[in-house]
Structure 1
C-alpha cells in the first residue's frame, strides 16, 4: 500500500522467488513507475501487479455507497470475497506527516515527493489517524487467518508500515482494538520512531 516507485515490493519479490506482489498507489505516475521498475528488474506481471487505488478501495465491493471511505458498512465487511483473507503480508507507506510538518520540509524534499503521498487528502488531513485506522481495519480483512497461513509465517509480523510522530499512539490504538498482537514500534538510525510491525489476531 502506497507503493510509490515499487522499491520495497520489488525487493521482496526478488529476494523471495515464490512471492507475488500487488503494488497499490493512488498516484497514476507512481503506478506507472512501479510497473516500469518491476519490468527493469525482470519481474513479469504474474509476479508484480500495480494497481491505482485509494488504499483498499480497489479491493472493496461497490455495495452501499460505493466502496472505501464512503460506505456505511464496517470497513472489514467491504472487502470483496475474492480478496478477503488472501494476503500473507501487507507493507504500507501511508501519508503520515502533519500539514505543519510538510510545510517545514526543505525544498529538496518537496520537489521530489508529492504532498498527497506525504500528507494525504484534505479530509484525512483533518482526521490525523484515519489512514492508520483504515489500514488496521481493512488489513485484518485482507490478511490470512492462522488456519490459512503458511506454517513458517504464523509467528512473524504480517503488517509493516511507516509512521512518524504519532507512532506510540497508533500502536496503543492497535493494541486496544484487540485485532493485533505483538505490536512493536521500531526506531530509525536517528532513534526516531519510524515503523510499526504487528500480527493480526484471527
Structure 2
C-alpha cells in the first residue's frame, strides 16, 4: 500500500471513506505539494512521514483538519485559521456569492461600502474586497484576537479592509461607524442548549463566542444588527444574514415586523433555509 492509502485506512475508524479520502487529498496537496496523479506513487521523506503521522494522530484525537493545517480554503482563497476563529464553511461561500451578485446588479459602476459584522477570520470581507476591488470594505468583531488573524489574512490575500473592534450589541458605540451600502453578518445563532447535539469536533475546538446565543433569546444578534442597519444602511442598501435552518423563518418574520422589505430566504446547496437578504 502507498502512504496515501495507508493514511486513508488509518482514518477509517473515525471518518467514512469519502471523508477520509477528501482529508487525505487536502493533506497531500497542501502539505506535500502533490497532485492527485502523484498520490499513488509518492515517496515521502522521513520528515514528511513524521508530519503525516502527527496529522493522523491529531485528526483521530478530534481536532479539525483546518486547525491542524493552520489554513482553510474559501471561495478560491487561502485563509489562516486557528481556534481564535470559526472555520469558514461552504454555505458561507454561497452567501458571499449572493452579495457579489447584488453588487454587480445594483452597483455596477459605483464604489459600494460594505460591512461584515462578526467577521472572525475575515473570509467574507476579504473575499468581497478581492473580487470587487472598487468596494470599500469593513470587518467588525468583538474579539481582538480574531481581528488580529483577520488582518493577517488581509495581508495574505493582498487586500485592504478596515477592521473595527466593537460589540454590535452595544448601541452606544454605533455612532463610531459610517453609513454602508451593504451589511452582512453570519452571527452566533446556536442556542446554548443545542451544544450537546453538536459534533465534538466543533463544540470542543471552535470559539463558543462565535457559535452560541442565550437559549432565551436566540434572535438576539439578528434583532440588534437589523436595528443597527436601520440607522447605518443607505436608504437603497441591502442587508444579508446567514441563518440557523431551524429558526430562519423566525428571522424572516422578525425583519418583516421591523419594516424591512423584499425579505427573501434562500436554501443552501443542502436544501436548508440558510441565507436571508432584504432591503430598506
The 1-side partners of 2:204 and 2:151 are apart by 22
**What are structure 1's unaligned runs of at least 5 residues?**
61-66, 69-78, 147-153
Query: How far did 1:99 drift?
Result: 1.3
Residue number in structure 2 paired with 1:91: 184
Partner of 1:136: 226
Matched-pair contact (CA < 8 Å) for 1:35–1:49:
no
Aligned length: 163
2:167 match: 54
| SS in structure 2 of the partner of residue 88 of structure 1 | strand
Secondary structure at the aligned position of 1:10 is classed as: helix
More strand, by proportion: 2
Q: Which has the higher helix share?
A: 2
Q: Matched residues in 1 for 2:208 and 2:222: separation?
A: 18
The answer (yes or no) to whether the contact 2:185–2:240 under 8 Å persists in 1 is yes
Greater RCO, CA 8 A, separation 6+:
1
Which residue matches 1:75? Answer: none
**Secondary structure at the counterpart of residue 234 of structure 2:** coil
State how 1:74-153 maps to structure 2 within 5 Å: 79-80=174-175, 83-84=177-178, 86-120=179-213, 124-146=214-236
Task: Tell me the TM-score normalized by structure 2.
Answer: 0.55
Contact kept? 1:102, 1:118, Cα under 8 Å: no
Specify whether residues 56 and 100 from structure 1 end up closer, same or farther in structure 2 by C-alpha distance, changes over 3 A only: closer
Contact (CA 8 Å) 1:94, 1:162: kept in 2 or not?
A: yes
Q: TM-score, normalised by structure 1?
A: 0.74
1: CA distance, partners of 2:169 / 2:156 = 27
Secondary structure at the residue paired with 2:190?
A: coil
Which residue number in structure 2 is paired with residue 174 of structure 1?
255
User: Which is higher, the Rg of structure 1 or of structure 2?
Assistant: 2
List gaps (5 residues or longer) in structure 2: 1-116
Distance across 2 between alignment mates of 1:24 and 1:83 = 10
